[in-house]
Amino acid sequence: MMLFNRNLWIVLCLCLQINSYAQSEKDMRIIPLKTGKNPRTSFKDLTLDPAHLFIQSEPIDQNSPQIQLQLNIVKNDNTYTTFLWYYETSADAIKTNYPKAYLNYSFSLKVDKQDVQLVVETLDFENSMFIDLGQTAVIENLKMTYETCVGESSIAINGQEEGSFNTYTLSLADKDSQKTFSFTSIPIQNGKTTCMTWKTYKIFILAASEDALKLKVSKTYL
């Protein structure tokens, strides 16, 4: 009887591992890339077109990425084009502008020297993401849209311009309601991250630019 219970436990553990692996495979796709144009492929309801992968061993300047992928994402009749950048800012420091979020998915690069892979995953809470201007990211029932970035200036009494700043607008929505948040200037000050709370969600602004917002979202489960 003890042997039977032990064997049953082993079978259950194997089944759980297989189901977990299958779920992981379902929520993730890793696509090997080569320099230049890559073939189209599909992931769930998307058509992915890695239109051009560019690799340069010696960038022309510090603002030029070592690796750039032009990625076209097609859903129904809509095409979204974005660029994934990879910088080696020093021997032990890397800068990127991904994972890029689009609808329910994130897109990033996995780099090992000259080997580059496109990693596609389903968006989830607690993971940082970049949302391009005008695009929407969706996690479960929460929709987040980077709506606008408006450049403004502050003027002194004498009419001289004292400084310039951007005002960013982020729209949040779920099944029942919608709310728009606006914030200005650099969202990270003195090591403290700007956080917006709405319903059971907390949205952390990690970085902001005219091109994209870097966010992380937490959810409190009641």
State which residues form the domain around 140.
124-222
Pair 118, 159 in one domain: no
Q: List, in sequence order, the alpha helices (H) in the chain.
A: 2-27
Task: Return all residues near 218 (Cβ < 8 A) that are at least 6 apart.
Answer: 125, 126, 201, 202, 204
Over residues 98-125, mean pLDDT: 95
Q: Is a pLDDT exceeding 70 seen at residue 192?
A: no
The percentage of the chain sitting over the pLDDT mark of 70, rounded to a whole number, equals: 80
Query: Worst-scoring range by mean pLDDT, 74-78, 113-117, 179-183, 210-214?
Result: 113-117
Amino acid identity, position 127: N
User: Which candidate, 161, 163, 165, 178, places its Cα nearest to that of 208?
Assistant: 165
Task: Return all residues near 18 (Cβ < 8 A) that are at least 6 apart.
Answer: none
Pair 93, 135 in one domain: no
Residue 93: pLDDT band by 50, 70, 90 thresholds? confident
Query: Worst-scoring range by mean pLDDT, 51-55, 108-112, 159-163?
Result: 159-163
Pair 78, 147 in one domain: no
Pair 94, 145 in one domain: no
Pair 112, 128 in one domain: no
User: Do the domain assignments include residue 9?
Assistant: no
Pair 171, 202 in one domain: yes
Which of 122, 143, 166 is a domain's end point? 122
* Adjacent-strand bridge partners of 94: 88
